[in-house]
A = this chain, B = another copy of it.
Amino acid sequence: MERKSKIWYLENFNFFAELTMEQRTFIRQNTVMRTVEKNDPVYFQEDFAHSIYFLKEGCIKISKFSEKGQEFLVTLLNPGEIFGEASVLGNNKRQEAAIAEESAIFCVMKEEKMRELLLMVPILNLKFSQLLEKRLEKTQKRLEDLSFKSNHQRILDFIRELVKLSSTSDDGEIVIPNRLTHEKIAQLTSTNRQEVSSVFNYLKRNRVIDYNRKSIRVLKIRDLERA
């Protein structure tokens, strides 16, 4: 993983775009940078919630565990994303766990400092609300899909989404690197690994995609879109 300074990361964090020098200084003075190795926890469920986090590099997994110990994978976060924001809004216990899916670099800010900043910069507060609204919509969509679509369909949708997010050109062959395991895809779609496997092979048989453990190659994007 590339190593850069805290300043560099903060300057390039989209959430903090368009702030004054003074505001940037406030942020610099009130954040610390931290790194975690793969599988290290950032926080656990039920922990006291003191801080908000800005992910710079790597991948953080947000999960909730039921009483029976079953894991619900909420999301996998990528650089530029924010987590632990509930603390800023008066939630003093973590409702979920944050664990490094891959080794990661992030900045940490105390919740009261973040609140101070939001009250100081109203436009940032609005941006913060926007962020929450986006998450709400995404969660809402997932809930609807779970209600109305079959396992098979949700897995197909997931693959489509993967392709949409990682392809630049519109046609020709698209290769998606760094594939998630079937197990992870199953968790993200609320299905099971066997069915994920079966959908992948269904697409392979129909020559819509080809894949190995490292990547997915989309052969016929049109066919995938209406599969």
Residues of A within 8 A of B (CB): 64, 66, 70, 72, 74, 85-86, 88-91, 95, 115, 118-120, 122-123, 125-126, 128-130, 132-133, 135-137, 139-140, 142-144, 146-148, 190
Contacts and interface: CB of A to CB of B under 8 A. Distances in A.
Number of copies of this chain that the complex holds: 2
Given A90-B130, A139-B139, A146-B143, A122 B123 contact: no
Contacts of A137: 86, 95
A126 B115 contact: yes
A95 B85 CA distance: 24
A129 B89 contact: yes
Contacts of A64: 140, 144
Given A140-B139, A144-B72, A133 B130 contact: no
A120 B119 CA distance: 10
A143 B95 CA distance: 14
B128 A118 contact: no
A128 B127 CA distance: 12
A89 B133 contact: yes
Contacts of A133: 85-86, 89, 91, 132
A53 B78 CA distance: 35
A23 to B, nearest CB: 14
12 contacts: A70-B148, A72-B143, A72-B147, A86-B133, A89-B126, A91-B133, A115-B126, A122-B125, A132-B133, A139-B140, A143-B146, A147-B190
Given A139-B139, A147-B146, A148-B72, A122 B126 contact: no
